[in-house]
Amino acid sequence: MESGLPGGPSYHQDLLRGMALPLAVVRPAVLNPARLGDLAELLAFRHFFRHAYAVALDEAELRSHAARLERTHRAYVRICAASSRSCWAGSRS
């Protein structure tokens, strides 16, 4: 993050948005902006789940979150693998 880590009650969302922005000369975007919606939904579910006591969970909603998590995980495994290859390639030159 260019100006330091975000703070305040929305710092998780702010961090996601900031990591989806490329910083000229410093780094490309770490997160794919197209995945921000999925990540925001997972973040909201995490917040709900951590604070929901004695609440019946909706199986369809849980399946939806599981599918979102799988989709997002696959995308970031590819990004990390590509990033790792480019970092290693750069260190050999």
Residue 19 forms part of a structural domain: no
Could you tell me which residues are beta bridge partners of residue 27? Answer: 23
Residue 6 forms part of a structural domain: no
> Can you give the pLDDT at residue 5?
77
In tens, the pLDDT along 18-63 reads 888 888 888 888 888 888 889 999 999 888 888 877 788 889 999 9
> Can you give the pLDDT at residue 26?
80
Residue 81 forms part of a structural domain: yes
Tell me how many domains the chain contains.
1
Could you tell me which residues are beta bridge partners of residue 23? Answer: 27
Residue 21 forms part of a structural domain: no
Residue 78 forms part of a structural domain: yes
What number of helices (H) and strands (E) belong to the chain?
3, 0
pLDDT band at 68 (very low <50, low <70, confident <90, very high): very high
Print the domain residue range for 50.
Answer: 32-91
**HSE-CB of 23 using CA atoms within 13 angstroms:** 11
